[in-house]
Structure 1
Amino acid sequence: MSGSRYTVASAARGLDVLEAMAKHGKPMGASEIAAAVNLPRPTAFRILATLQERDWVYKEGLTYGLGFKCFNLGANSGAGLEIRTQAIPFLVELRDKTSLNSQIAKLENWKVVYLERILARNLRVNTPSRAGSILPAHCTALGKTLLSAKDMEQVSDWASKHGLERFTDSTICKVPNLMAEISRIRERGYAVEEGEREPEISCIAAPIRDFSGKIIAALSISGTRDRFPQGLYDSDFSRLVVASAAKISRAMGAPSTSTGTKWNY
């Protein structure tokens, strides 16, 4: 019997769309995707809407990109991204210097997606620990760092439309307060989190750039408050995080002028 008799046409078209997007390597418009897989635009749009609803793709403006579930599937099957390969030695070094968890993440569909995480020894935390785990953006140091790399008007529109969920008494829940915090992060060059998602967890994060100088990910350390210095700002730990993020950026080919304390936009 031919295997083709068991083929589900709609599933095959969905896979064709994902394969075309993966081959293209960057976000695509619906018409562009339809042309790439030889489908009518309305059909491609329905497939994209279904994939978006299930988090296999994300939509930003008029374009679509591969979602965090595509990364999660690749990560679980042993596939990796270049940034993970470049970052792991620095994550281990940072973990050993601070005795805290170290991790890198990117922003997908306004959510923080772990690319890699190195857990501290003998440190009990309640946060997710697997590559592909998802965190909110507005109340995490990683998320605020990544939001700071986006257009401020887009961030404000997103936050106003979707709201800012409260997790603890310290969570930023008002859009103007979030925008003010993002401005401070841009000026400072790193973000901090003090009990904003979990009451006893603190975090420091800094941006990672690619060869073009674009911020593509963020690096952070995290752990219980008692494992951090008295203050997170302008501390030895914050300087270590910024320096480690700069090292990974240089390994990714970032220009040396884009990996200092201040951010270039």
Structure 2
Amino acid sequence: MTATTQRRNSAGLRRDLDLLEVLGSPEAESNNGLGVVRIADLTGRDKGQVSRTLATLAEAGLVARDPSTQSYRLGYQLYALAARTLESRLVREAAPFLRRIVIATHETAHLCVLRGDNVLTLTSELSEYAFRGVGWEGVSAAAWRTSSGRVLISDRSEEDLRRWYDLHGRDRPVTGPLSPVMQEAGATLPQEGTPLFTEFSGLLGEIQRIRTRGFATVDEEFELGVVGASAPVYDFRGSIAAAINVSAPKSRVGSHLNEMGVLIARVSDELSRHLGASR
């Protein structure tokens, strides 16, 4: 490849990025997309050229076109790439913070994210206790029944919470598959306990307690005989990106569950600042 060809390809990539930047602008966000003519005006490019480039980007899933309005917006593939990148960084950066919690509590610490109505464990830092000596990566559970799930939705407005609860606030079984490590250790999916609340008003009250205390707790709701505490991890935008969770036998930590919650909240806050959150 000649230097001239490289410059031409670089210029083409720059023009593609210009279109993506326009579609990520406040104007595009507020209007749920922009039409070809407006995009051409904003980028100072020929309308036909913009249309052809957008069609190519749409084939790759980087932009999407609304069939009724013909407007374009950022596509699912771009968001998927961004999410994977953020989660990869979260796993990498969270490791030493999770280890600090394990050292302080002697319990396994988990980093969790939200997947629709479920909480998914991205990574676990294992403790020396056999009871929690296996990782729960890849296992998901109904968010509203877990401390981590409640934390992950605790920055939403009451209207958003209502919509989320109407869709997801119901009993769902814990789902697998179990990791090979868990299978080899003879682990099984948990036997669920009794939820603290079954109405939306109960969720609102719990969310308010989380906002006041900075952490959430559960007492044998997710699993019989098990208690847990979780705190939010914020990203550079100030949005909740993940939750740090510790779950353990009630017989071992039940008497100092709130103390554990305070510790997790403090470490989560330090991780948030490490990720660029201005909290």
Selected match of 1:203 from 228, 231, 244: 228
Within 2, Cα distance between the matches of 1:179 and 1:80? 28
The answer on 1:106 being equivalent to 2:110 is no
Query: In structure 2, the residue corresponding to 1:222 is in which secondary structure?
Result: strand
The answer on 1:142 being equivalent to 2:156 is no
Within 2, Cα distance between the matches of 1:155 and 1:96? 35
Cα distance change of structure 1 residues 42 and 249 upon mapping to structure 2, 3 Å threshold: closer
CA contact (8 A) 2:215 2:262 kept: no
- The answer for the alignment partner of 1:245 in structure 2 is 268
- Equivalent position amino acid for 1:105 in 2: C
Cα distance change of structure 1 residues 229 and 197 upon mapping to structure 2, 3 Å threshold: closer
Q: Deviations over 1:129-184 (max 9, x none)?
A: 34333221101110010111222211212212344217422343222111111111
- The answer for the alignment partner of 2:80 in structure 1 is 66
- The answer for the alignment partner of 2:49 in structure 1 is none
Query: In structure 2, the residue corresponding to 1:97 is in which secondary structure?
Result: helix
Cα distance change of structure 1 residues 35 and 191 upon mapping to structure 2, 3 Å threshold: farther
CA contact (8 A) 1:156 1:179 kept: no
Query: In structure 1, the residue corresponding to 2:273 is in which secondary structure?
Result: helix
Within 1, Cα distance between the matches of 2:197 and 2:241? 24
Q: State the structure with more CA Rg.
A: 2
Which has the larger helix fraction?
A: 2
- Equivalent position amino acid for 1:220 in 2: N
Query: In structure 2, the residue corresponding to 1:138 is in which secondary structure?
Result: helix
CA contact (8 A) 2:126 2:135 kept: yes
- Equivalent position amino acid for 2:275 in 1: M
The answer on 1:157 being equivalent to 2:178 is no
Within 2, Cα distance between the matches of 1:175 and 1:187? 19
The answer on 1:181 being equivalent to 2:206 is yes
TM-score (norm 2): 0.62
- Equivalent position amino acid for 1:92 in 2: R
Percent of aligned pairs sharing the same letter: 25
TM-score (norm 1): 0.65
CA contact (8 A) 2:227 2:254 kept: no
Deviation, structure 1 residue 231: 4.1
- The answer for the alignment partner of 1:37 in structure 2 is 58
* Structure 1 moving runs of 4+ over 6 Å: 28-35
- The answer for the alignment partner of 1:120 in structure 2 is 127
- List gaps (5 residues or longer) in structure 2: 1-19, 36-53, 68-75, 173-191
Deviation, structure 1 residue 202: 0.9
Paired residues, number: 207
Within 1, Cα distance between the matches of 2:87 and 2:168? 31
- Equivalent position amino acid for 1:191 in 2: A
